[in-house]
Chains A and B, each alone.
Chain A
């Protein structure tokens, strides 16, 4: 067993452990943090596959942005675990059967005749091989259609999110910066011209 294989098993074990803890830990914040760990170790596995672009993007996007927002929400939720667990054991047998079926399928994928043949050692790339460049080339040539459509999908997500959240609610006290900037002194201050009246002399 060389170092790479050892690393692979280590990271895989870590991924599986973290993924298990995501669904078993009682505290939702812990679950989210274990998900972060699972992403990290997956990124490590991708590193081993020389897919450094995907690995780093996974860390950058999922760990660095998505999970932060996830945590942001989860930390502020007051989740009642007792209520969530009602009916857990009642439905457990069904879930277990489903899980077993899925497991069997996974095993079949791995043992499938077409994948078994391709299970050979892939040649290592030279040191100047850039996975990023290769990905970029593929994305902008062969997969341009799917890539552009994925971009459209994100655009729709943005439009949807804004359309659903941006609404004027009555009763909120928010500032309108444009109005604040356009304020002129005459709108706020009224100069009143008053005749000067001699003050009665009180010194006497």
Chain B
């Protein structure tokens, strides 16, 4: 077996890197302002990635590069979902970005590099590769947020995102260095083994853990480390927010799993306590603050904080059920937020950003089909049956009740009810209010098709959630070494 065939599990990453570099160069020679050639190449790359991931699939867990890289079912599933969401983001945002002069080769290349960072995070089983993957993703995102140079809001958002992101990275790195000091290794599995065999100083481990969890909470945008989220969501170009709100959450899920479950499973008593605080606070602050928002993107930011709280509930309940439920939750959340932000990009046009609640007034009269799709998405976000959001919330609650934390489940349900108010308010605005403008909505065929798919998928997954739930449970079961 030659050296190259031993690299098979990492073919997707290698292919993506090579293609990103090629696209970077090819783009220099694309004179077309629409950048059709570059766009096509990027979409083909994503298709190629999906094919590679399917063809290099192997059952079991494969380690590569001295345990820095791991390939298992969970990573394959999450990577496939990341390709799909990045591809969807590009379809949604094409006309939106073209109207703002942002649809450049750099935007697409940075998106690909962010995707590479996510893939590295998803497949990382070593503190070093985790951190570098995270930085690769974050750095690309910082730049993409700031890409709209003439917009003061975007620049402010980029600045806040960058500084707080750097602080979070610092916290995470500091925590990791503590864990390294305690266990003497950076390899996640070796860290787990060292903790299990009791060679590590427990005080030091917990101190390290505090910093790691704080860093993660920063990156996830959980309260009390959420300050950057609303500003970034509001200020950044919607396409970039779409990326931050969907694909990166998938990577963050893998990150949390590898770090807290694979590496620090033995410390679960400690970190689940911290996660309870983060989760409850996030749900409270997220849902309550969202009510007061008049800006739709800002409202979605607070909604994302609340959703992250819910997601953490699944993580802290532990076990295959809990992790499977939180994986299911994060996948559904990614799908919903793609649709919601996609809707903003479709309602926006040159010189007009449909990011206020008023933009949705009377949408039913202007375009009944779009309004119906939005209704499905909002129902799903609120957790109204029979949409996917309901089932996602349900499975998380089930997992947490099974662990005996009924009081947390009750709190979660209460805050979900509060949250339902602002989602349903959108529905009310769309169906019962008079439209503020009668400007016809011009929809590109590709994004129109996509939003239909997106909305109907939310409905279909709510009616038949079984198979996706099974995939998530299997991915978690086959990939995590639950000690």
Contacts and interface: CB of A to CB of B under 8 A. Distances in A.
A145 B69 contact: yes
Interface in B258-309: none
A113 interface: yes
A149 B182 contact: no
A131 interface: no
B181 interface: yes
Contact of B109 (A113, A143, A144, A159): A159
B408 interface: no
Interface in A149-172: 149-150, 152-153, 155-157, 159-160, 162-164, 167
A112 B181 contact: yes
A149 B106 contact: no
Nearest to A105: B207
Contact of A159 (B17, B106, B199): B106
Contacts of A162: 106
B455 to A, nearest CB: 34
A105 B199 CA distance: 18
A113 B183 CA distance: 10
Q: In which size bucket is the chain B interface?
A: 35 or more
Contacts of B116: 152
B140 interface: yes
Given A145-B129, A164-B149, A109 B178 contact: yes
Contacts of B21: 155
B201 A167 contact: no
A150 B132 contact: yes
A202 B207 CA distance: 104
B38 to A, nearest CB: 14
Nearest to A167: B149
Contacts of A113: 199-201
Nearest to B104: A163
Contact of B182 (A112, A157, A167): A112
Interface residues of A, number: 26
Interface in B1-54: 17, 21, 24
Interface string B98-135: 00000010100110010010001000001011001101
A146 B204 contact: no
B89 to A, nearest CB: 18
Helix, strand, loop or mixed for chain A's interface?
helix
Contacts of A114: 181-184, 199-201
Contacts of B207: 105, 108
Interface string A95-139: 000000000010011001111001000000000000000000000
Nearest to A161: B143
A163 B65 contact: no
B146 interface: yes
Given A112-B181, A164-B146, A159 B201 contact: no
A202 to B, nearest CB: 62
B208 to A, nearest CB: 9
A160 B203 CA distance: 41
A142 interface: yes
A157 B110 CA distance: 10
B17 A163 contact: no
A146 B127 CA distance: 10
A102 B112 CA distance: 38
A162 B143 CA distance: 10
B135 A163 contact: no
A163 B143 contact: yes
B197 to A, nearest CB: 11
B133 A149 contact: yes
Contacts of A150: 132
Interface centre among A118, A143, A149 (most CB of B within 10 A): A149
Contacts of A152: 17, 113, 116, 136
A109 B204 contact: yes
Contacts of A109: 178, 181, 204
Given A108-B204, A163-B143, A164-B149, A149 B129 contact: yes
A112 B208 CA distance: 13
Q: 5 closest Cβ contacts across the A-B interface?
A: A160-B143, A145-B65, A163-B106, A112-B201, A149-B132
Interface of B: 17, 21, 24, 64-66, 68-69, 104, 106, 109-110, 113, 116, 120, 126, 128-129, 132-133, 135-136, 139-140, 142-143, 146-147, 149, 178, 181-184, 199-201, 203-204, 207
Given A115-B184, A145-B68, A156-B136, 20 more contacts: A105-B207, A108-B204, A112-B181, A112-B204, A114-B184, A143-B66, A146-B128, A146-B129, A149-B120, A149-B136, A153-B132, A153-B136, A155-B113, A156-B110, A156-B113, A160-B139, A163-B104, A163-B106, A164-B143, A167-B149
25 contacts: A108-B203, A112-B204, A113-B201, A114-B181, A142-B66, A143-B66, A143-B68, A145-B65, A145-B129, A146-B129, A152-B116, A152-B136, A156-B110, A157-B139, A159-B24, A159-B106, A159-B113, A160-B139, A160-B140, A163-B104, A163-B106, A163-B110, A164-B143, A164-B147, A167-B149
